[in-house]
């Protein structure tokens, strides 16, 4: 039996880390699809099978209002910040404030980030480039991908130095070959609350409720912290 999950990419690490506990307790395996939150919402609304959904709090709220979620199952997973990454071993760029971040982006050979229309971090990053006044200046070096995890994997595989990645901290931490430089400068800081809920059309609602408890429970606190979630 498989518990079907639609989730923003930010939660992939913690879901994977706790999948074994669910299987040990219930026999259910995880069948998870992870990508930009906007894309996952669209997939859910198109009728894709789903027992448990994990998106930004805003999008979960929208689904709740339209009656797509089981009553009493909405629970916050935690807060995730958007961060900056480089390839392991590369010099760490300056990102402490807006002028330093601007200089680092202008010096980068390639800038990797998630979908600028459907991913929380991608949408925010494009707004940040506009606020810095450099979108056109770095346009040729922008490397968007469908989600942050894919963007970070591609960056890790790319040859050479001078690459910068911008996505949710959780997606940076689960990607081998990358180093987390830090959060975006305070002027552009983005903290996103990720929230989960059982689908109103869940085939296995009890298993979904149990996995929600596992993901958000006190015992998993250290794992959530290690994965990049803040309380």
Mean pLDDT (whole number) for 2-24: 97
Mean pLDDT (whole number) for 182-203: 97
Rounded-to-integer distance, Cα 88 and Cα 1, Å = 39
Q: How confident is the model at residue 101, as a pLDDT?
A: 98
* pLDDT tens profile 35-63: 999 999 999 999 999 999 999 999 999 99
pLDDT interval class at 151 (50, 70, 90): very high
Helices assigned H by DSSP within 145-220: 148-157, 169-173, 205-216
CATH number for the domain formed by residue range(s) 81-188:
3.40.190.10
Rounded-to-integer distance, Cα 198 and Cα 206, Å = 9
pLDDT interval class at 111 (50, 70, 90): very high
Q: What's this model's pTM, rounded to 2 decimal places?
A: 0.93
Q: How confident is the model at residue 224, as a pLDDT?
A: 97
State the CB neighbour count (10 A cutoff) for residue 161: 12
Question: Which residues, 6+ apart, have CB-to-CB distance to 70 below 8 Å?
Answer: 197, 198, 199, 200, 202, 205
Domain chopping of the chain, boundaries:
2-79+193-227, 81-188
Question: Which residues, 6+ apart, have CB-to-CB distance to 193 below 8 Å?
Answer: 56, 57, 76, 78, 79
Helices assigned H by DSSP within the chain: 12-26, 37-45, 57-65, 98-107, 120-132, 135-138, 148-157, 169-173, 205-216, 221-227
Which 3 state secondary structure label does DSSP give 99? helix
CB pairs under 8 A, 24+ apart, for 182-186?
182/83, 182/84, 182/95, 182/96, 183/81, 183/82, 183/83, 183/84, 183/95, 184/81, 184/82, 184/83, 184/84, 184/95, 184/101, 184/128, 185/95, 185/96, 185/97, 185/98, 185/100, 185/101, 186/97
Q: How confident is the model at residue 128, as a pLDDT?
A: 98
pLDDT interval class at 84 (50, 70, 90): very high
Do 2-79+193-227 and 81-188 share a fold? yes
Q: How confident is the model at residue 90, as a pLDDT?
A: 97
Nearest to 4, CA basis, from 49, 54, 70: 49
Nearest to 211, CA basis, from 54, 96, 42: 54
Architecture of domain 2-79+193-227: 3-Layer(aba) Sandwich (3.40)
Q: How confident is the model at residue 94, as a pLDDT?
A: 97
Mean pLDDT (whole number) for 73-81: 98
Q: Which two tokens stand for residue 25?
A: 């307790």
Contact (CB, 8 A) for 11 and 34 = yes
Mean pLDDT of the chain: 97
Q: How confident is the model at residue 174, as a pLDDT?
A: 95
What whole-number percentage of the chain has pLDDT above 70? 100
Q: How confident is the model at residue 20, as a pLDDT?
A: 98
Mean pLDDT (whole number) for 105-113: 98
pLDDT interval class at 145 (50, 70, 90): very high
Rounded-to-integer distance, Cα 213 and Cα 220, Å = 10
pLDDT interval class at 78 (50, 70, 90): very high
Q: How confident is the model at residue 60, as a pLDDT?
A: 98
């Amino acid at each position: 039996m498989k518990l079907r999950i639609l989730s923003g990419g930010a939660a992939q690490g913690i879901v994977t880390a706790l999948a074994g506990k669910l299987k040990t307790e219930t026999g259910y395996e995880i069948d998870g699809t992870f990508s930009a939150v906007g894309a996952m919402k669209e997939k859910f609304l198109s009728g894709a099978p789903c027992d448990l959904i994990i998106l930004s709090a805003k999008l979960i709220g929208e689904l709740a209002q339209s009656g797509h979620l089981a009553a009493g199952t909405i629970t916050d997973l935690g807060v995730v910040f958007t961060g900056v990454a480089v390839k392991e071993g590369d010099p760490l760029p300056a990102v402490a404030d807006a002028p330093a971040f601007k200089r680092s982006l202008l010096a980068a050979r390639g800038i990797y980030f998630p979908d600028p229309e459907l991913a929380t971090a991608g949408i925010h990053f494009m707004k940040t480039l506009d606020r810095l006044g450099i979108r056109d200046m770095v346009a040729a070096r922008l490397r968007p991908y469908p989600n942050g995890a894919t963007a970070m994997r591609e960056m890790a595989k790319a040859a050479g130095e001078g690459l910068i990645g911008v996505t949710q901290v959780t997606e940076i931490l689960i990607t081998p070959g990358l180093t987390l430089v830090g959060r975006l400068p305070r002027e552009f800081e983005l903290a996103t609350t990720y929230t989960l809920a059982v689908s109103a059309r869940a085939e296995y609602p009890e298993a979904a409720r149990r996995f929600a408890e596992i993901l958000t429970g006190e015992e998993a606190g250290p794992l959530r912290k290690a994965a990049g979630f803040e309380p």
